[in-house]
Structure 1
Amino acid sequence: MTAPAVTVDPASASGDLPGADAGSAVQTRALTKRFRSGQVAVDGIDLSVPRGAVYGFLGPNGSGKTTTIRMVLGLVRPTSGTSWLLGSPEPATVLSRVGALVEGPGFHPYLTGRANLLRLDAADATADPRTAARRASEALERVGLLAAEGKPYRQYSLGMKQRLGLAAALLRPRELLVLDEPTNGLDPQGTREVRLLIRELAQAGTTVLVSSHLLGEIEQVCTHLGIMSRGRLLLQGPRSVLDQRGVTRVMVTVAPGHVATAAGVLRVLGLDVSAEDHALNAELGALEPARIPAALVHAGVDVVGFEVRRPSLEQVFVDLTGEGFDVAR
């Protein structure tokens, strides 16, 4: 069945809205999904995923991330708004260039892992059937499932099922990879492997959109962020947006007897300093961090430790929404 068109907004149809930004792999304008119950799952968001980015699409379960992804991929028709996938308002025309794992994989339970991949590959009209076996082997090897390729899918563990879903998304080189909770069910080793895989794909030029409620993992790989809560996009931009949203502090530990001198140096630099034992704490503000240890050493202070503490994803989210967040790894 042909995927529904994503553009449903009358203003867009009339030409009042300009086209997609050529630098974006995924873009939306005022994208909204309202269910018959009256619930607004996605409330007029303007998403922008730059080409070549690893975009961490973050928010607690139920915040609207998966619904947004399904609309962008053409799996769900939006109530209003416009979206573009790889520059096209019709996702069906570009899906062969997109790999996706959304809401967990779905496979035939009595077929083996390899047979499931070959069946998916055969459904791709743009794939060369002569090289299908090689593609399946490479995808299975990439996610660590080559040894289990002959096992029926129904015998796979949750983590193995998730790995097979990743393999399906990687059957062919993709311009865009969309991963919805890709580490669901994986043990720490599997989670680490997915993290490394995302980095490899990004280095090869693939744009990766990773939706998750686990900040610890996303924080290690993303170059750009989007934070959702209750259907709204609260924050979006490169990782540097974190520094603009919170307070960056410096922690300096000095040798005994040097605390007073160190505090004086920091005050000359314009910092408001508090001290406890041999540790000094100050809000960094606009000061370049490298100036601090240099000034301390120049003043004859023995610096034992120096740390810049930037705002974390968790703290930014709490500041924005007042809610807690799952930071499990």
Structure 2
Amino acid sequence: MSSTLTERDHDGVPTTGGDAVVRTRGLTKKFRSGQVAVDGIDLEVPRGAVYGFLGPNGSGKTTTIRMLLGLVQPTSGEALVLGGAMPRSAVAVLPRVGALVEGPAFQPYLTGRRNLDRLDAVDMTADPRTSKARIGAALERVGLSAAAAKPYRNYSLGMKQRLGLAAALLRPRDLLILDEPTNGLDPQGTREVRHLIRELAEDGASVLVSSHLLAEIDQVCTHVGVMSRGKLLVQGERDVVTSGGRQSGERVVITTLRDHVDGARRVLARLAGVDPSSASEAASVEDADHLGDGAVTVTATLGGASLSDVAPALVAADVLVLGIGTDRPSLEDVFVELTGEGFDVAR
């Protein structure tokens, strides 16, 4: 890949140069105070992904999103959204993007429906003939149909957040950018937003969703990126990130008796392609005190072997198998390991 992000087709039009709906190179934002809010990040959101943009409050997520939407001018670096360089291509790109950034802002004395009417009316690319139907569908989708005639000032925080989501869904979008979409929602509302994100992805939209509540995003994302102190620490497919970057090779955990440890190690070493003489280094052993009777767990990385290969190989080698499973770190484990910081994992 070239050192500059912007690649051009034969007409000189900027393009992502790949199947990504968002791509940045060296994206940086420094404020006048000298604070570096975003420090040279290379973000990449694949088409069709639900990309969990994770990090604690103040890590730079919202500033990054505002730059992607053309709301904040980068200090340096480049950003492409749906093939257009931002903010230069905002007029062409933004009608294809639905966004909820920080707290939604609406006219307090207007009803929820009337607020959406006003938003849709100023969208020059929206068809006014379908406005009523689209607004009704958006309100229904976020569970606000019964409150559509209520003034916005009487909405709870969760209802305000739902109306912001409805605004992002007034028309079909190629990309949804949702900043803390579950803010203010009760557990039921949070579950509904997770379900909505899954539906949007199934309908063909790409979704970039930021949050400091990792447990919520962990249930829906296909890809993740972790921010801390303005830096993008890691990104990629969720399963690859949580496996420590291994494209293949699960960590398998065998429960057996101590007398069978050597045999289990030899089998696991062979499956992992490790020299049998190094079998003792290929797998770690821990006591399984909760099982008693000398039970232990033997843990090893399989390499290219499949988990389904393990049990038959152990049985063939006369290794007693009391249990078998896999060990994969959670997203929380990955974050703590990368940053040494805690993470809000629940409300």
TM-score, normalization: structure 2? 0.84
Name the aligned partner's letter for residue 44 of structure 1: G
**Counterpart Cα distance in 2 of 1:288 and 1:203:** 29
- Tell me the residue number matched to 2:264: 265
Q: 1:19, CA displacement in angstroms?
A: 5.0
Cα deviation digits, residues 228-271 of structure 1 (max 9, x gap):
111111111112132134896433445xxx55336623443223
Distance in structure 1 (CA, Å) of the matches to 2:298 and 2:155: 51
Q: Distance in 1 between matches of 2:17 and 2:154?
A: 45
Query: Hey, what does 1:275 align to over in structure 2?
Result: 287
Question: Counterparts of 2:30 and 2:64 in 1: how far apart (Å)?
Answer: 12
Q: Helix, strand or coil for the counterpart of 2:217?
A: helix
For structure 2, list consecutive stretches of 5 or more residues without a partner in the other structure: 9-13, 270-282
The one-letter code matched in structure 2 to 1:172 is R
Structure 1 residue ranges without an equivalent (≥5): 1-10
Aligned residues: 313
Percent identity between matched residues is 65
Cα gap change, 1:289 to 1:266, in 2 (>3 Å)? farther
In 2: Cα distance, 1:302 partner to 1:111 partner: 70
Structural mapping, 1:211-222, within 5 Å: 211-222=210-221
Note if contact 2:268-2:302 (Cα within 8 Å) is conserved in structure 1: no
Q: Name the SS of the counterpart of 1:82 in structure 2.
A: strand
CA distance in 2, matches of 1:310, 1:267: 22
TM-aligned CA deviation for residue 284 of structure 1: 2.5
2:132 is paired with a residue whose SS is helix
Which residue matches 1:242?
242
Cα distance in 2, alignment partners of residues 118 and 263 from structure 1: 71
What SS is found at the alignment partner of 1:244? coil
Assess if the C-alpha contact under 8 Å between 1:266 and 1:292 holds in 2. no
Is residue 311 of structure 1 aligned with residue 307 of structure 2?
Answer: no
Distance 1:21 1:55 in 2: 19
Deviation at 1:139, TM superposition (A): 0.4
For residue 201 of structure 1, what is the aligned residue in structure 2? 200
**SS of 2:307's equivalent?**
coil
The corresponding residue for 1:5 is none
- Does the residue aligned with 2:84 lie in a helix, a strand or coil? coil
Partner of residue 126, structure 1: 125
Which residue does 2:274 correspond to in 1?
none
Determine if the alignment matches structure 1 residue 54 to structure 2 residue 71.
Answer: no
Query: What is the alpha-carbon distance in structure 1 between the residues aligned to residue 139 and residue 113 of structure 2?
Result: 8
Deviation at 1:24, TM superposition (A): 1.3
1:113 and 1:237, CA in 2 relative to 1: closer, same or farther beyond 3 A? same
Check the 8 A contact 1:265/1:295 in 2, yes or no: no
Task: Quote how far apart the aligned CAs of 1:281 are.
Answer: 3.7
Structure 1: distance between partners of 2:102 and 2:316: 57
Aligned-pair CA distance for 1:217: 1.3
What is the TM-score when the length of structure 1 is the normalising length? 0.88
C-alpha distance in structure 1 between counterparts of 2:252 and 2:226, whole Å = 26
Q: Provide, for residues 122-180 of structure 1, a one-character-per-residue CA deviation record: whole Å limited to 9, x for no partner.
A: 11111111211111110011011111111111111111111111011001000000000
In 2 relative to 1, CA 12–182 (structure 1 residues): closer, same or farther, beyond 3 Å? closer
Does the aligned pair in 2 maintain the 1:22–1:87 contact within 8 Å?
no
Map residues 95-106 of structure 1 onto 2, 5 A cutoff: 95-106=94-105
Shift of 1:225: 1.2
Whole-angstrom CA distance in 2 between matches of 1:183 and 1:251: 36
Instruction: Select which of 74, 77, 83 maps to 1:78.
Output: 74
Partner of 1:67: 63
- Please give the alpha-carbon distance, in whole angstroms, between the structure 1 residues aligned to 2:226 and 2:253: 28
**How well do the aligned residues superpose, as a CA RMSD in angstroms?**
2.3
**Deviation digits for residues 72-106 of structure 1 (CA, Å, limit 9, x no counterpart):** 10001111111111101122221111000000211
Shift of 1:285: 4.7
Task: Answer yes or no: is the 8 Å Cα contact 1:72–1:91 preserved in 2.
Answer: no
* 2:171 counterpart of 1:181: no
Match of 2:135 in 1: 136
| Contact 2:178 2:208 survives alignment (8 Å) | yes
Report matched runs for 1:137-156 at 5 Å: 137-156=136-155
Distance between the aligned counterparts of 1:150 and 1:19, measured in 2?
Answer: 43
